[in-house]
Structure 1
Amino acid sequence: MYMAEFKLRFGDMKWYVRRIVEASSLEEAEEIAERYAKAMNKGEVKWELSYVIEAERPLLIGKEELEKMGA
């Protein structure tokens, strides 16, 4: 499983979103994420791919994540 982070821009505003990417390799995940960003760019919001990483537990905050952070 992979997670892609995208930078979105609309005028002066900028924010980030993350999406889960189903792929068998990092290269395939990056290709899928690039295609996704291009497809999403049909509106007024500009999508840019920031990065893709392998993720075991993406978007999940639990005890394990807090312990890793020392919180």
Structure 2
Amino acid sequence: MKNNLKVQRAIANMTQAELAEKIGVSRQTINAIEAGKFVPSTVLALKLAKLFERSVNEIFELEAAD
């Protein structure tokens, strides 16, 4: 799954630690999502979408292999 979480975070001028605190996860979780090493739960994806005022599809995108 591809994502543009890092871009959304940069637009909001937010560090990984700040984002993690706002949605209740660790900074390492944010880092893993941005690196494509971790696929977030539905609840976490919805929290991120709500925080950035975007749809989940605007942040996360399925790849052909998914």
**Structure possessing the higher relative contact order (Cα contacts under 8 Å, 6 or more residues apart):** 2
> Larger strand proportion, structure 1 or 2?
1
What TM-score results when the alignment is normalised by the length of structure 2?
0.29
Relative to the length of structure 1, the TM-score reads 0.27
Judging by fraction of residues, say which structure has more helix: 2
Larger radius of gyration: 1
